[in-house]
Every structure is written in C-alpha cells, then in structure tokens.
Chains A and B, each alone.
Chain A
Amino acid sequence: GAVVSQHPSWVICKSGTSVKIECRSLDFQATTMFWYRQFPKQSLMLMATSNEGSKATYEQGVEKDKFLINHASLTLSTLTVTSAHPEDSSFYICSARVKFGRSLVYEQYFGPGTRLTVT
C-alpha cells in the first residue's frame, strides 16, 4: 500500500528557533499534499494545501509567514515552523493525495505525524 513518511517523528526546540518537518510519499507521486495540526484530544485542523511547484494555499487563520510550506517535488513537502513559540507545540500530520489514472477517484494517505514541543 501507499506509504507516507514524516521526519522527524518528534522534535524539541527552543523558543525562537525554526524547525523543519519533512513529508515524503515513498512509493507514489502525490498530486497534492496537505498539512494538518492536531491538539490533544481534538480533531485534525487543516492548515494548508500544496501542489507541487506552486504556492501553498493556507486556511483562514493560519499564518503563512510562520508556517512555511515548500512542495519541492511530487514526493516531498516540507513544513517549517519559524520563530517557534510554546503555543506552536502540537502534533503535525501530513497527508498526500494521488489520483489513479484517468478516473476521478482520489486517495489520500496520512503520515505518522510529528510531535513538536517548543520549550
């Protein structure tokens, strides 16, 4: 089956520093990648949608200058949390979507998540 990986799986950083999270589709090319944020005991909140080679589309209320998304290729997207603060501590999950052939069926696969703790 399709596999999406994230690296690192957990990271601790100091307030004011930046941290980069990688998301890779290992055995397929993703037409679109999504970044979600999840607070404890809550649902996934979509942060942004990115297509390879174009700028990410951010959801309302998400600071694009703070959460930089780069979709460098059809298999790699990165999320950089800039000037991190303790309130940015969260579980970040990426997801990759692929369309099969000429059909209109899209499948979306999720990464294992990255736990970010800002001290």
Chain B
Amino acid sequence: AQSVTQLGSHVSVSEGALVLLRCNYSSSVPPYLFWYVQYPNQGLQLLLKYTSAATLVKGINGFEAEFKKSETSFHLTKPSAHMSDAAEYFCAVRITGANSKLTFGKGITLSVRP
C-alpha cells in the first residue's frame, strides 16, 4: 500500500519569501506523485504531477517539485510567495494500474503574511 506524510499542519511565510511544503511518500512500486491546491469551499486543483519522467516538475502558478527517490520525497517549492497562494495544499500518491486510487496526505495550510 502507498501513503504520503505531510509533516506539520500549517506553514506561514512572508510575501516574497520562499515557500517549501514537505511531502514524503511510501510505495512498494514506482509511484505517481501529485500536489493539489484547495481554496476555501472549492474542489481540488492540480498544481503539478510526477509520472516517472523528469524528476524536477514545474507546475502552475510558479510552483515546482522535485522527486527524490533516495529521500522518498516530493517537496513543493515556490521562490516567491504571493498573497494569492494562501490555501490548503495536499500531496497525493498513486501507483500505476487501472484500479489504483489516489491516497492523500492530511494537507498543509499555507498562510502568507503581507
């Protein structure tokens, strides 16, 4: 079975500062990894995904993540935070196959201070 761990529940950064949201995964087979963002009372929007191609993945809104197999990590970063980045962020893992399901981490709330 696969799982993801998102340490901490809340990250606060100043506007313009680096954003780093951590995600570690566990999977017995090569995984697909995802980062989603959720704004209040809305569904999930895909930020980026890793599907065994390039290990450095660039997503929308200036976010990127690097797949590090040796560290079983897929941390999300953005060089300069914007007020509009304040939201809930979920890391998720899925293995290949028709019957595979997304497994979500518990999520991290990102706050951006002016």
Contact = CB atoms under 8 A, between A and B. Distances in A.
Interface residues of A, number: 23
A43 B42 contact: no
Q: Sort chain B's interface into a size bin.
A: 20 to 34
Contacts of B107: 42-43
Contacts of B36: 110
Given A43-B107, A104-B96, A105-B51, A112 B42 contact: yes
A contacts with B: majority SS: strand
Contacts of A49: 101
A79 interface: no
Interface in B45-69: 45-46, 51
B105 A43 contact: yes
A62 to B, nearest CB: 14
A68 to B, nearest CB: 20
Contacts of A44: 44, 90, 104
A48 to B, nearest CB: 11
B12 to A, nearest CB: 16
B43 A111 contact: yes
Given A46-B102, A110-B43, 6 more contacts: A44-B104, A95-B44, A99-B98, A108-B102, A110-B44, A112-B42
Interface of A: 4, 6, 34, 41-44, 46, 49, 91, 93, 95, 99, 104-106, 108-113, 115
